[in-house]
Chains A and B, each alone.
Chain A
Amino acid sequence: MKKFISAVTILTAALCLSTSVSAQAQHKVYDTAEVLSVQDETMLEELAENLALSHGVDAMICTERSLDALPEERAKSLFSSNDVGIGNSRDGILLLIWFEDDNPNYIIYQNGWADKVYTEYAAERIDELISQDIKKRDFAGAAQQLLKVSDKFMSAQEKGNPYSLDRPYRTSGDILRIWLLWVCIGAVVSCGICAALVAGMRKRTTNNVIYSAAPEKKSFAVTTQRDILLYTKISNDDGKEKLDDLKNSR
Protein backbone atom coordinates (compact mmCIF):
# COMPACT_ATOMS: atom_id res chain seq x y z
CA MET A 1 0.00 0.00 0.00
CA LYS A 2 2.82 2.37 0.95
CA LYS A 3 4.56 1.60 -2.33
CA PHE A 4 1.38 2.37 -4.21
CA ILE A 5 0.93 5.69 -2.44
CA SER A 6 4.53 6.74 -3.05
CA ALA A 7 4.24 5.70 -6.70
CA VAL A 8 1.05 7.78 -7.11
CA THR A 9 2.74 10.74 -5.38
CA ILE A 10 5.78 10.53 -7.64
CA LEU A 11 3.54 10.19 -10.69
CA THR A 12 1.42 13.19 -9.65
CA ALA A 13 4.52 15.28 -8.91
CA ALA A 14 6.05 14.30 -12.24
CA LEU A 15 2.78 15.16 -13.99
CA CYS A 16 2.58 18.57 -12.27
CA LEU A 17 6.21 19.25 -13.04
CA SER A 18 5.75 18.28 -16.63
CA THR A 19 2.65 20.57 -16.87
CA SER A 20 4.53 23.42 -15.25
CA VAL A 21 7.57 22.85 -17.44
CA SER A 22 5.39 22.65 -20.52
CA ALA A 23 3.63 25.89 -19.52
CA GLN A 24 6.93 27.62 -18.92
CA ALA A 25 8.74 26.20 -21.89
CA GLN A 26 6.12 27.09 -24.51
CA HIS A 27 6.14 30.38 -26.38
CA LYS A 28 4.22 33.24 -24.75
CA VAL A 29 3.97 35.42 -27.84
CA TYR A 30 2.30 34.42 -31.09
CA ASP A 31 2.62 37.28 -33.55
CA THR A 32 0.65 35.96 -36.53
CA ALA A 33 -0.17 39.51 -37.68
CA GLU A 34 3.55 40.30 -37.66
CA VAL A 35 3.23 43.58 -35.79
CA LEU A 36 5.93 42.93 -33.18
CA SER A 37 9.66 43.04 -33.63
CA VAL A 38 11.95 40.24 -32.45
CA GLN A 39 13.16 42.44 -29.60
CA ASP A 40 9.56 43.18 -28.56
CA GLU A 41 8.78 39.47 -28.55
CA THR A 42 11.82 38.69 -26.40
CA MET A 43 10.93 41.46 -23.97
CA LEU A 44 7.30 40.33 -23.71
CA GLU A 45 8.37 36.68 -23.26
CA GLU A 46 10.52 37.77 -20.32
CA LEU A 47 7.71 39.79 -18.74
CA ALA A 48 5.26 36.91 -19.13
CA GLU A 49 7.83 34.56 -17.63
CA ASN A 50 8.25 36.89 -14.64
CA LEU A 51 4.48 37.06 -14.14
CA ALA A 52 4.31 33.28 -14.11
CA LEU A 53 7.15 33.04 -11.61
CA SER A 54 5.84 35.80 -9.34
CA HIS A 55 2.15 34.97 -9.25
CA GLY A 56 1.75 31.59 -10.88
CA VAL A 57 -0.32 33.13 -13.67
CA ASP A 58 0.41 32.25 -17.25
CA ALA A 59 0.27 35.01 -19.87
CA MET A 60 0.03 34.88 -23.62
CA ILE A 61 0.07 37.61 -26.27
CA CYS A 62 -1.48 36.77 -29.63
CA THR A 63 -1.87 38.95 -32.71
CA GLU A 64 -3.97 37.97 -35.75
CA ARG A 65 -4.62 39.77 -39.00
CA SER A 66 -8.35 38.88 -38.94
CA LEU A 67 -10.81 36.76 -36.97
CA ASP A 68 -13.14 34.12 -38.35
CA ALA A 69 -15.01 33.76 -35.05
CA LEU A 70 -16.33 35.96 -32.27
CA PRO A 71 -13.42 37.55 -30.37
CA GLU A 72 -14.38 35.94 -27.04
CA GLU A 73 -14.63 32.51 -28.65
CA ARG A 74 -11.34 32.92 -30.49
CA ALA A 75 -9.59 34.07 -27.31
CA LYS A 76 -11.01 31.13 -25.39
CA SER A 77 -10.02 28.72 -28.13
CA LEU A 78 -6.47 30.12 -28.24
CA PHE A 79 -6.28 29.86 -24.43
CA SER A 80 -7.32 26.18 -24.57
CA SER A 81 -5.47 25.12 -27.69
CA ASN A 82 -2.17 26.62 -26.53
CA ASP A 83 -2.58 25.05 -23.11
CA VAL A 84 -2.32 28.42 -21.37
CA GLY A 85 -2.73 28.48 -17.60
CA ILE A 86 -0.94 27.16 -14.58
CA GLY A 87 -2.24 24.72 -12.02
CA ASN A 88 -5.55 22.96 -11.75
CA SER A 89 -7.57 26.17 -12.08
CA ARG A 90 -5.50 27.06 -15.17
CA ASP A 91 -4.68 30.56 -13.98
CA GLY A 92 -3.79 32.70 -16.95
CA ILE A 93 -4.46 35.76 -19.09
CA LEU A 94 -4.44 36.17 -22.83
CA LEU A 95 -4.27 39.34 -24.87
CA LEU A 96 -5.58 38.95 -28.38
CA ILE A 97 -5.01 41.75 -30.87
CA TRP A 98 -6.64 41.56 -34.31
CA PHE A 99 -7.46 43.88 -37.17
CA GLU A 100 -10.70 44.83 -38.86
CA ASP A 101 -10.19 46.88 -42.03
CA ASP A 102 -6.70 47.60 -40.74
CA ASN A 103 -8.16 49.00 -37.48
CA PRO A 104 -6.69 47.33 -34.40
CA ASN A 105 -8.96 45.72 -31.79
CA TYR A 106 -8.15 43.78 -28.69
CA ILE A 107 -9.64 41.52 -26.06
CA ILE A 108 -8.31 40.28 -22.77
CA TYR A 109 -9.29 36.80 -21.66
CA GLN A 110 -8.54 35.62 -18.17
CA ASN A 111 -9.11 32.35 -16.39
CA GLY A 112 -8.86 30.90 -12.90
CA TRP A 113 -7.43 33.10 -10.15
CA ALA A 114 -6.69 35.81 -12.77
CA ASP A 115 -10.44 36.10 -13.30
CA LYS A 116 -10.79 37.11 -9.61
CA VAL A 117 -8.08 39.74 -10.00
CA TYR A 118 -9.79 41.24 -13.06
CA THR A 119 -12.68 42.87 -11.24
CA GLU A 120 -14.89 45.37 -13.03
CA TYR A 121 -12.69 48.19 -11.72
CA ALA A 122 -9.47 46.44 -12.77
CA ALA A 123 -10.83 45.69 -16.25
CA GLU A 124 -11.85 49.32 -16.76
CA ARG A 125 -8.56 50.67 -15.48
CA ILE A 126 -6.44 48.26 -17.59
CA ASP A 127 -8.62 49.04 -20.58
CA GLU A 128 -7.99 52.78 -20.07
CA LEU A 129 -4.26 52.21 -19.92
CA ILE A 130 -3.74 49.93 -22.90
CA SER A 131 -6.35 51.33 -25.28
CA GLN A 132 -4.18 54.43 -25.79
CA ASP A 133 -1.24 52.29 -26.96
CA ILE A 134 -3.46 50.19 -29.20
CA LYS A 135 -4.82 53.36 -30.85
CA LYS A 136 -1.27 54.53 -31.39
CA ARG A 137 -0.46 51.06 -32.86
CA ASP A 138 2.14 50.52 -30.16
CA PHE A 139 1.17 46.88 -29.69
CA ALA A 140 4.33 45.95 -27.82
CA GLY A 141 3.70 48.88 -25.48
CA ALA A 142 0.11 47.78 -24.92
CA ALA A 143 1.15 44.22 -24.14
CA GLN A 144 3.94 45.43 -21.89
CA GLN A 145 1.48 47.70 -20.08
CA LEU A 146 -0.94 44.81 -19.59
CA LEU A 147 1.73 42.53 -18.13
CA LYS A 148 3.14 45.20 -15.83
CA VAL A 149 -0.26 46.43 -14.60
CA SER A 150 -1.45 42.83 -14.14
CA ASP A 151 1.62 42.25 -11.96
CA LYS A 152 0.63 45.25 -9.78
CA PHE A 153 -3.04 44.20 -9.52
CA MET A 154 -2.06 40.61 -8.71
CA SER A 155 0.43 41.71 -6.04
CA ALA A 156 -2.27 43.89 -4.44
CA GLN A 157 -4.73 40.98 -4.55
CA GLU A 158 -2.20 38.64 -2.95
CA LYS A 159 -1.61 41.15 -0.15
CA GLY A 160 -5.37 41.21 0.45
CA ASN A 161 -5.58 44.88 -0.45
CA PRO A 162 -6.86 44.94 -4.03
CA TYR A 163 -7.28 48.11 -6.03
CA SER A 164 -10.82 49.43 -6.21
CA LEU A 165 -12.69 52.72 -6.57
CA ASP A 166 -11.86 53.43 -2.91
CA ARG A 167 -8.22 52.54 -3.41
CA PRO A 168 -7.51 53.50 -7.01
CA TYR A 169 -4.55 52.26 -8.97
CA ARG A 170 -2.36 55.19 -10.02
CA THR A 171 0.36 55.21 -12.61
CA SER A 172 3.40 57.46 -12.35
CA GLY A 173 1.67 59.77 -14.87
CA ASP A 174 -1.38 60.05 -12.57
CA ILE A 175 0.86 60.86 -9.59
CA LEU A 176 2.70 63.47 -11.66
CA ARG A 177 -0.62 65.09 -12.64
CA ILE A 178 -1.77 65.19 -8.99
CA TRP A 179 1.57 66.65 -7.94
CA LEU A 180 1.43 69.31 -10.67
CA LEU A 181 -2.10 70.24 -9.58
CA TRP A 182 -0.88 70.66 -6.01
CA VAL A 183 2.14 72.65 -7.20
CA CYS A 184 -0.29 75.07 -8.92
CA ILE A 185 -2.45 75.28 -5.78
CA GLY A 186 0.70 75.71 -3.67
CA ALA A 187 1.97 78.49 -5.96
CA VAL A 188 -1.32 80.40 -5.69
CA VAL A 189 -1.44 80.03 -1.91
CA SER A 190 2.25 81.00 -1.64
CA CYS A 191 1.60 84.13 -3.73
CA GLY A 192 -1.13 85.03 -1.26
CA ILE A 193 1.18 84.42 1.71
CA CYS A 194 3.99 86.52 0.17
CA ALA A 195 1.54 89.31 -0.73
CA ALA A 196 0.16 89.29 2.84
CA LEU A 197 3.68 89.46 4.28
CA VAL A 198 4.69 92.33 1.96
CA ALA A 199 1.40 94.13 2.70
CA GLY A 200 2.04 93.63 6.42
CA MET A 201 5.45 95.28 6.04
CA ARG A 202 4.00 98.17 4.06
CA LYS A 203 0.92 98.60 6.24
CA ARG A 204 2.31 101.30 8.47
CA THR A 205 3.52 103.69 5.80
CA THR A 206 3.57 107.42 6.28
CA ASN A 207 0.93 108.49 3.77
CA ASN A 208 -1.96 106.42 5.07
CA VAL A 209 -3.76 109.30 6.79
CA ILE A 210 -5.05 112.20 4.72
CA TYR A 211 -5.18 115.41 6.70
CA SER A 212 -8.44 117.32 6.61
CA ALA A 213 -9.46 120.48 8.41
CA ALA A 214 -12.23 120.41 11.00
CA PRO A 215 -13.92 123.44 12.56
CA GLU A 216 -13.93 124.17 16.27
CA LYS A 217 -16.72 122.50 18.19
CA LYS A 218 -20.10 124.26 17.90
CA SER A 219 -18.61 127.02 15.72
CA PHE A 220 -20.31 125.95 12.50
CA ALA A 221 -23.53 127.81 11.73
CA VAL A 222 -25.69 127.93 8.62
CA THR A 223 -26.69 131.55 7.96
CA THR A 224 -28.59 131.17 4.68
CA GLN A 225 -30.60 128.20 3.48
CA ARG A 226 -32.85 128.65 0.42
CA ASP A 227 -34.02 126.02 -2.05
CA ILE A 228 -35.57 127.52 -5.18
CA LEU A 229 -37.43 125.49 -7.78
CA LEU A 230 -36.17 126.54 -11.22
CA TYR A 231 -37.78 124.14 -13.67
CA THR A 232 -39.90 121.02 -14.02
CA LYS A 233 -39.50 118.59 -16.86
CA ILE A 234 -41.62 115.56 -17.60
CA SER A 235 -40.25 112.87 -19.85
CA ASN A 236 -41.26 109.37 -20.83
CA ASP A 237 -37.93 108.06 -19.71
CA ASP A 238 -34.36 109.28 -19.64
CA GLY A 239 -33.49 107.76 -23.00
CA LYS A 240 -36.39 109.49 -24.78
CA GLU A 241 -35.49 112.83 -23.26
CA LYS A 242 -31.90 112.60 -24.46
CA LEU A 243 -33.08 111.73 -27.96
CA ASP A 244 -35.32 114.81 -27.99
CA ASP A 245 -32.40 116.96 -26.84
CA LEU A 246 -30.23 115.74 -29.67
CA LYS A 247 -32.96 116.43 -32.23
CA ASN A 248 -33.41 119.98 -30.88
CA SER A 249 -29.69 120.68 -30.97
CA ARG A 250 -29.59 119.94 -34.69
Chain B
Amino acid sequence: MEFTEYHCPRCDKTLEREGEGLLCKFCGLNFDETRAGEFEREREYAEDDLAWNEYNSAGLLSGAVYFACDKCETNYAVPIEDGTPDAQSADVCCPLCGGMLLSVATTAPVPDLLLPFNCDRKAAEDAFSRFCKFKPLLPSKFTPHKNIKLLKKLYLPYWTAACTAQYKTRYDAVKRKKQRTDSEKSIQTDGFMALREGTAAYSGLLSSALSTAEDILTRDFSLEEGKPFDKMPDAIVAVPDIPAKQAQKELSELVGASMDKLLKGTVKGYSKKKRAAGRLCISDTHTNLALVPLWIISAEYKGRIYRFVMNAQNGKVSGELPYSKLKIASVFAICTAAISVVGTVLTLLL
Protein backbone atom coordinates (compact mmCIF):
# COMPACT_ATOMS: atom_id res chain seq x y z
CA MET B 1 0.00 0.00 0.00
CA GLU B 2 1.35 3.40 -0.94
CA PHE B 3 0.59 6.46 1.09
CA THR B 4 0.35 10.03 -0.13
CA GLU B 5 0.94 11.40 3.35
CA TYR B 6 3.14 10.09 6.14
CA HIS B 7 3.05 11.04 9.80
CA CYS B 8 5.80 11.33 12.37
CA PRO B 9 5.60 8.45 14.90
CA ARG B 10 6.88 10.76 17.60
CA CYS B 11 4.69 13.86 17.24
CA ASP B 12 2.10 12.79 14.60
CA LYS B 13 2.86 15.88 12.42
CA THR B 14 2.96 15.42 8.63
CA LEU B 15 6.39 14.42 7.31
CA GLU B 16 7.96 16.32 4.44
CA ARG B 17 10.00 14.78 1.64
CA GLU B 18 13.67 15.63 1.73
CA GLY B 19 15.76 13.92 -0.92
CA GLU B 20 14.96 10.22 -0.79
CA GLY B 21 13.76 10.23 2.80
CA LEU B 22 11.14 11.93 4.93
CA LEU B 23 11.76 14.63 7.52
CA CYS B 24 9.76 15.78 10.53
CA LYS B 25 10.48 19.48 10.79
CA PHE B 26 9.14 19.60 14.32
CA CYS B 27 11.24 16.76 15.77
CA GLY B 28 14.13 17.01 13.33
CA LEU B 29 13.93 13.25 12.73
CA ASN B 30 14.58 11.56 9.36
CA PHE B 31 12.71 8.43 8.23
CA ASP B 32 13.03 6.18 5.24
CA GLU B 33 9.82 5.49 3.38
CA THR B 34 9.62 1.79 4.35
CA ARG B 35 9.73 2.54 8.04
CA ALA B 36 7.32 5.47 7.74
CA GLY B 37 4.99 3.24 5.71
CA GLU B 38 5.08 0.55 8.38
CA PHE B 39 3.98 3.09 10.97
CA GLU B 40 1.35 4.53 8.66
CA ARG B 41 -0.25 1.07 8.26
CA GLU B 42 -0.64 0.75 12.04
CA ARG B 43 -1.37 4.41 12.77
CA GLU B 44 -5.12 4.12 12.91
CA TYR B 45 -7.38 1.11 13.31
CA ALA B 46 -10.89 0.58 12.14
CA GLU B 47 -13.74 0.96 14.63
CA ASP B 48 -14.47 -1.76 17.20
CA ASP B 49 -16.49 -4.68 15.91
CA LEU B 50 -18.90 -5.57 18.70
CA ALA B 51 -21.09 -8.37 17.44
CA TRP B 52 -23.29 -8.74 20.52
CA ASN B 53 -26.32 -10.96 20.07
CA GLU B 54 -29.78 -9.44 20.10
CA TYR B 55 -31.40 -10.34 23.41
CA ASN B 56 -34.79 -11.91 23.02
CA SER B 57 -36.78 -12.66 26.12
CA ALA B 58 -38.52 -16.00 26.39
CA GLY B 59 -41.77 -14.15 27.05
CA LEU B 60 -43.47 -12.15 29.74
CA LEU B 61 -43.63 -12.97 33.44
CA SER B 62 -46.80 -14.68 34.50
CA GLY B 63 -48.21 -15.19 38.00
CA ALA B 64 -47.39 -11.64 39.09
CA VAL B 65 -48.99 -8.25 39.51
CA TYR B 66 -47.02 -5.07 38.97
CA PHE B 67 -46.38 -2.13 41.20
CA ALA B 68 -44.34 1.03 40.70
CA CYS B 69 -42.67 3.12 43.35
CA ASP B 70 -43.98 6.68 43.43
CA LYS B 71 -40.56 7.95 44.52
CA CYS B 72 -37.83 6.15 42.55
CA GLU B 73 -40.15 4.85 39.81
CA THR B 74 -38.78 1.32 40.00
CA ASN B 75 -41.25 -1.30 38.80
CA TYR B 76 -41.76 -4.51 40.75
CA ALA B 77 -43.41 -7.82 39.93
CA VAL B 78 -45.14 -9.16 43.04
CA PRO B 79 -46.10 -12.85 43.11
CA ILE B 80 -49.78 -13.78 43.18
CA GLU B 81 -50.56 -16.42 45.75
CA ASP B 82 -53.79 -18.38 45.49
CA GLY B 83 -55.06 -16.13 42.75
CA THR B 84 -54.64 -12.90 44.72
CA PRO B 85 -51.60 -10.71 45.18
CA ASP B 86 -49.56 -11.63 48.21
CA ALA B 87 -51.15 -9.31 50.76
CA GLN B 88 -47.96 -8.85 52.72
CA SER B 89 -45.86 -8.24 49.63
CA ALA B 90 -48.31 -5.92 47.91
CA ASP B 91 -48.69 -3.86 51.03
CA VAL B 92 -44.99 -3.16 51.46
CA CYS B 93 -43.20 -0.01 50.49
CA CYS B 94 -40.41 0.15 47.87
CA PRO B 95 -37.51 -2.10 48.98
CA LEU B 96 -34.98 0.27 47.45
CA CYS B 97 -36.16 3.68 48.68
CA GLY B 98 -39.07 3.16 51.02
CA GLY B 99 -41.50 4.94 48.68
CA MET B 100 -45.13 3.95 48.26
CA LEU B 101 -45.96 1.18 45.75
CA LEU B 102 -48.81 1.86 43.37
CA SER B 103 -50.40 -0.66 41.06
CA VAL B 104 -49.39 -0.23 37.38
CA ALA B 105 -50.13 -1.95 34.12
CA THR B 106 -46.79 -3.10 32.77
CA THR B 107 -44.93 -6.28 31.86
CA ALA B 108 -41.55 -7.79 32.53
CA PRO B 109 -39.36 -10.15 30.49
CA VAL B 110 -38.96 -13.70 31.70
CA PRO B 111 -35.44 -14.06 33.11
CA ASP B 112 -33.18 -16.89 32.00
CA LEU B 113 -31.49 -17.66 35.29
CA LEU B 114 -32.53 -17.65 38.95
CA LEU B 115 -29.87 -17.68 41.67
CA PRO B 116 -30.87 -19.42 44.91
CA PHE B 117 -31.54 -17.84 48.32
CA ASN B 118 -28.83 -19.57 50.39
CA CYS B 119 -29.35 -17.26 53.41
CA ASP B 120 -32.67 -17.19 55.25
CA ARG B 121 -34.32 -14.29 57.10
CA LYS B 122 -32.73 -15.25 60.43
CA ALA B 123 -29.25 -15.09 58.89
CA ALA B 124 -30.05 -11.68 57.39
CA GLU B 125 -31.38 -10.37 60.72
CA ASP B 126 -28.28 -11.62 62.54
CA ALA B 127 -26.05 -10.04 59.90
CA PHE B 128 -27.83 -6.68 60.30
CA SER B 129 -27.51 -6.84 64.10
CA ARG B 130 -23.79 -7.54 63.71
CA PHE B 131 -23.53 -4.72 61.17
CA CYS B 132 -24.95 -2.24 63.71
CA LYS B 133 -22.88 -3.55 66.62
CA PHE B 134 -20.10 -1.38 68.12
CA LYS B 135 -21.24 1.72 66.26
CA PRO B 136 -21.18 4.34 69.03
CA LEU B 137 -22.16 7.15 66.68
CA LEU B 138 -25.34 5.46 65.48
CA PRO B 139 -28.31 7.77 66.22
CA SER B 140 -30.42 6.51 69.11
CA LYS B 141 -33.54 6.72 66.92
CA PHE B 142 -31.95 4.42 64.32
CA THR B 143 -32.12 1.20 66.29
CA PRO B 144 -31.45 -2.22 64.71
CA HIS B 145 -34.54 -3.56 66.51
CA LYS B 146 -36.79 -0.98 64.84
CA ASN B 147 -35.24 -1.26 61.37
CA ILE B 148 -35.06 -5.03 61.28
CA LYS B 149 -38.81 -4.97 60.60
CA LEU B 150 -38.03 -3.31 57.26
CA LEU B 151 -35.99 -6.31 56.05
CA LYS B 152 -37.22 -7.44 52.64
CA LYS B 153 -36.53 -10.28 50.27
CA LEU B 154 -35.84 -9.08 46.76
CA TYR B 155 -34.64 -10.32 43.39
CA LEU B 156 -32.50 -7.87 41.43
CA PRO B 157 -32.10 -8.27 37.65
CA TYR B 158 -28.59 -8.48 36.20
CA TRP B 159 -27.43 -8.92 32.61
CA THR B 160 -24.93 -11.74 32.29
CA ALA B 161 -22.84 -12.30 29.20
CA ALA B 162 -20.19 -14.52 27.67
CA CYS B 163 -18.07 -13.72 24.63
CA THR B 164 -14.82 -14.23 22.79
CA ALA B 165 -12.70 -11.10 22.52
CA GLN B 166 -9.98 -10.33 20.00
CA TYR B 167 -7.94 -7.22 20.66
CA LYS B 168 -5.41 -5.55 18.39
CA THR B 169 -3.43 -2.72 19.81
CA ARG B 170 -0.45 -0.47 19.24
CA TYR B 171 1.70 0.90 22.03
CA ASP B 172 4.16 3.73 21.59
CA ALA B 173 7.17 2.82 23.65
CA VAL B 174 10.58 4.38 24.23
CA LYS B 175 13.88 3.14 25.55
CA ARG B 176 16.24 5.72 27.01
CA LYS B 177 19.96 5.13 27.36
CA LYS B 178 22.43 7.50 28.97
CA GLN B 179 25.70 7.80 27.09
CA ARG B 180 28.89 9.38 28.35
CA THR B 181 31.79 10.42 26.18
CA ASP B 182 34.93 12.25 27.33
CA SER B 183 33.49 15.68 26.72
CA GLU B 184 29.77 15.42 27.31
CA LYS B 185 26.82 13.37 28.46
CA SER B 186 23.97 12.50 26.10
CA ILE B 187 20.71 10.56 26.11
CA GLN B 188 19.78 8.18 23.31
CA THR B 189 16.02 7.77 22.86
CA ASP B 190 14.81 4.84 20.75
CA GLY B 191 11.17 5.07 19.73
CA PHE B 192 9.34 1.77 19.15
CA MET B 193 5.97 0.72 17.92
CA ALA B 194 4.90 -2.37 19.91
CA LEU B 195 2.15 -4.25 18.08
CA ARG B 196 0.11 -6.76 20.02
CA GLU B 197 -2.85 -8.90 19.21
CA GLY B 198 -4.54 -11.39 21.49
CA THR B 199 -7.68 -13.37 22.15
CA ALA B 200 -9.51 -14.41 25.29
CA ALA B 201 -12.79 -15.97 26.28
CA TYR B 202 -15.01 -14.25 28.85
CA SER B 203 -17.94 -15.70 30.72
CA GLY B 204 -20.01 -14.65 33.71
CA LEU B 205 -19.75 -10.96 32.85
CA LEU B 206 -22.21 -8.98 34.94
CA SER B 207 -23.96 -5.67 34.42
CA SER B 208 -26.87 -4.27 36.38
CA ALA B 209 -30.22 -4.28 34.64
CA LEU B 210 -31.78 -1.83 37.08
CA SER B 211 -30.73 1.83 37.01
CA THR B 212 -31.91 2.56 40.56
CA ALA B 213 -29.77 -0.20 42.09
CA GLU B 214 -26.64 -0.20 39.94
CA ASP B 215 -24.04 -0.30 42.68
CA ILE B 216 -25.81 -1.66 45.73
CA LEU B 217 -24.12 -5.06 45.43
CA THR B 218 -20.62 -6.07 44.54
CA ARG B 219 -20.83 -8.26 41.45
CA ASP B 220 -19.43 -11.46 42.88
CA PHE B 221 -22.23 -13.95 42.27
CA SER B 222 -21.67 -17.54 41.37
CA LEU B 223 -23.73 -18.04 38.20
CA GLU B 224 -22.96 -21.78 38.23
CA GLU B 225 -25.46 -22.17 41.08
CA GLY B 226 -28.20 -20.59 38.95
CA LYS B 227 -31.19 -22.60 37.78
CA PRO B 228 -33.26 -21.97 34.65
CA PHE B 229 -36.23 -19.78 35.46
CA ASP B 230 -39.45 -21.80 35.40
CA LYS B 231 -41.99 -19.99 37.60
CA MET B 232 -42.46 -16.76 39.49
CA PRO B 233 -40.43 -16.98 42.76
CA ASP B 234 -41.92 -16.24 46.17
CA ALA B 235 -40.28 -12.83 46.44
CA ILE B 236 -40.62 -9.40 44.88
CA VAL B 237 -38.78 -9.11 41.56
CA ALA B 238 -37.46 -5.75 40.39
CA VAL B 239 -38.28 -5.20 36.71
CA PRO B 240 -35.22 -4.37 34.58
CA ASP B 241 -35.08 -0.89 33.07
CA ILE B 242 -31.61 -0.95 31.49
CA PRO B 243 -31.80 -2.42 27.99
CA ALA B 244 -29.46 -5.24 27.00
CA LYS B 245 -27.71 -3.02 24.45
CA GLN B 246 -26.71 -0.49 27.09
CA ALA B 247 -25.36 -3.26 29.31
CA GLN B 248 -23.46 -4.77 26.36
CA LYS B 249 -21.81 -1.39 25.78
CA GLU B 250 -20.62 -1.30 29.39
CA LEU B 251 -19.42 -4.91 29.15
CA SER B 252 -17.50 -4.10 25.93
CA GLU B 253 -15.63 -1.36 27.77
CA LEU B 254 -14.83 -3.74 30.63
CA VAL B 255 -13.60 -6.44 28.22
CA GLY B 256 -11.52 -3.84 26.29
CA ALA B 257 -9.91 -2.60 29.52
CA SER B 258 -9.17 -6.17 30.58
CA MET B 259 -7.59 -7.09 27.21
CA ASP B 260 -5.57 -3.87 27.18
CA LYS B 261 -4.23 -4.64 30.67
CA LEU B 262 -3.27 -8.18 29.65
CA LEU B 263 -1.55 -7.13 26.41
CA LYS B 264 0.20 -4.16 28.03
CA GLY B 265 1.77 -6.66 30.40
CA THR B 266 3.56 -8.28 27.46
CA VAL B 267 5.25 -4.99 26.42
CA LYS B 268 8.38 -5.22 28.52
CA GLY B 269 11.79 -3.60 28.69
CA TYR B 270 10.78 -0.03 27.92
CA SER B 271 11.21 3.10 29.98
CA LYS B 272 7.80 4.41 28.91
CA LYS B 273 4.82 2.87 27.12
CA LYS B 274 1.48 4.29 26.12
CA ARG B 275 -1.52 2.79 24.34
CA ALA B 276 -1.85 4.66 21.03
CA ALA B 277 -4.56 2.75 19.17
CA GLY B 278 -6.67 -0.34 19.64
CA ARG B 279 -9.46 -2.34 18.11
CA LEU B 280 -11.74 -4.73 19.95
CA CYS B 281 -13.67 -7.47 18.16
CA ILE B 282 -16.28 -9.33 20.13
CA SER B 283 -17.89 -12.53 18.85
CA ASP B 284 -19.60 -15.75 20.06
CA THR B 285 -21.76 -13.77 22.42
CA HIS B 286 -24.49 -14.93 24.77
CA THR B 287 -26.52 -12.46 26.80
CA ASN B 288 -28.89 -13.59 29.53
CA LEU B 289 -31.00 -12.02 32.21
CA ALA B 290 -30.43 -13.36 35.71
CA LEU B 291 -32.24 -12.71 38.98
CA VAL B 292 -29.93 -12.23 41.95
CA PRO B 293 -31.30 -12.79 45.49
CA LEU B 294 -30.75 -10.30 48.26
CA TRP B 295 -32.02 -9.17 51.63
CA ILE B 296 -32.43 -5.43 51.89
CA ILE B 297 -33.29 -2.80 54.48
CA SER B 298 -33.93 0.73 53.24
CA ALA B 299 -34.39 3.00 56.23
CA GLU B 300 -34.94 6.72 56.10
CA TYR B 301 -33.14 8.97 58.53
CA LYS B 302 -33.37 12.75 58.32
CA GLY B 303 -34.56 12.67 54.72
CA ARG B 304 -31.88 10.28 53.46
CA ILE B 305 -32.16 6.60 52.66
CA TYR B 306 -29.63 4.27 54.27
CA ARG B 307 -29.41 0.79 52.82
CA PHE B 308 -28.24 -2.46 54.28
CA VAL B 309 -27.86 -5.15 51.63
CA MET B 310 -27.03 -8.81 52.05
CA ASN B 311 -26.16 -10.95 49.07
CA ALA B 312 -28.45 -13.87 49.84
CA GLN B 313 -26.36 -16.24 47.75
CA ASN B 314 -23.01 -15.83 49.51
CA GLY B 315 -23.98 -13.90 52.68
CA LYS B 316 -21.77 -10.88 51.98
CA VAL B 317 -23.11 -7.65 53.43
CA SER B 318 -22.63 -4.02 52.56
CA GLY B 319 -24.38 -0.81 53.43
CA GLU B 320 -24.24 2.54 55.06
CA LEU B 321 -25.37 3.70 58.46
CA PRO B 322 -26.23 7.21 59.62
CA TYR B 323 -24.34 8.88 62.41
CA SER B 324 -25.56 11.35 64.96
CA LYS B 325 -23.91 14.78 64.90
CA LEU B 326 -24.90 15.23 68.53
CA LYS B 327 -23.06 12.01 69.45
CA ILE B 328 -19.98 13.14 67.51
CA ALA B 329 -20.06 16.45 69.41
CA SER B 330 -20.46 14.57 72.71
CA VAL B 331 -17.57 12.21 71.96
CA PHE B 332 -15.45 15.20 70.96
CA ALA B 333 -16.33 17.15 74.12
CA ILE B 334 -15.83 14.19 76.48
CA CYS B 335 -12.50 13.17 74.92
CA THR B 336 -11.22 16.77 74.89
CA ALA B 337 -12.27 17.36 78.50
CA ALA B 338 -10.78 14.05 79.70
CA ILE B 339 -7.48 14.53 77.86
CA SER B 340 -7.13 18.16 78.99
CA VAL B 341 -7.86 17.38 82.66
CA VAL B 342 -5.64 14.28 82.79
CA GLY B 343 -2.86 16.02 80.85
CA THR B 344 -2.96 19.14 83.06
CA VAL B 345 -2.96 17.14 86.30
CA LEU B 346 -0.10 14.92 85.13
CA THR B 347 1.93 17.95 84.01
CA LEU B 348 1.45 19.62 87.40
CA LEU B 349 2.25 16.47 89.36
CA LEU B 350 5.22 15.20 87.39
Contacts and interface: CB of A to CB of B under 8 A. Distances in A.
A99 interface: no
A204 B317 contact: yes
B218 A220 contact: no
Interface string B326-341: 0010011101111111
A249 interface: yes
Given A190-B332, A193-B335, A220-B262, A205 B197 contact: no
Contacts, number: 206
B202 interface: yes
B263 A222 contact: yes
A212 B260 CA distance: 12
A190 B335 contact: yes
Contact of A207 (B215, B251, B263): B215
Contacts of B217: 206
A39 interface: no
Nearest to A228: B193
A232 B203 contact: no
A149 B324 CA distance: 49
B258 A190 contact: no
A194 B187 contact: no
A237 B323 CA distance: 56
B256 to A, nearest CB: 9
A34 interface: no
Interface in A228-250: 228-238, 244-245, 248-249
Interface in B262-305: 262-263, 266-267
Contact of B188 (A190, A211, A228, A232): A232
A222 B263 CA distance: 8
A173 interface: no
Given A194-B332, A211-B254, A185 B188 contact: no
Contacts of B137: 197-198, 201
Interface in A147-190: 170, 175, 178-179, 181-183, 185-187, 189-190
Interface string B143-177: 00000000000000000000001001000010000
Contact residues on A (Cβ < 8 Å of other chain), bracket: 35 or more
B4 to A, nearest CB: 20
Interface in B178-203: 179, 184-203
B321 interface: yes
Nearest to A183: B340
B344 interface: yes
B192 A229 contact: yes
Contact of B28 (A206, A227, A244): A244
B331 A193 contact: yes
B206 A189 contact: no
Nearest to A246: B26
B344 A233 contact: no
B308 to A, nearest CB: 10
B227 interface: no
A175 B348 contact: yes
Contact of B339 (A185, A211, A212, A249): A185
Interface of A: 170, 175, 178-179, 181-183, 185-187, 189-191, 193-194, 197-198, 200-202, 204-209, 211-216, 219-238, 244-245, 248-249
Given A186-B338, A187-B332, 20 more contacts: A175-B344, A182-B344, A190-B332, A197-B136, A197-B323, A201-B138, A204-B317, A207-B215, A212-B257, A212-B258, A213-B251, A221-B199, A222-B197, A222-B266, A225-B197, A230-B192, A231-B10, A233-B28, A233-B191, A238-B187
14 contacts: A187-B332, A194-B335, A205-B318, A206-B218, A206-B307, A215-B165, A216-B201, A227-B193, A228-B193, A231-B31, A232-B190, A233-B29, A233-B191, A236-B186
Which 5 pairs of residues, A with B, have the shortest CB-CB distance? A186-B339, A182-B343, A224-B197, A215-B200, A190-B335
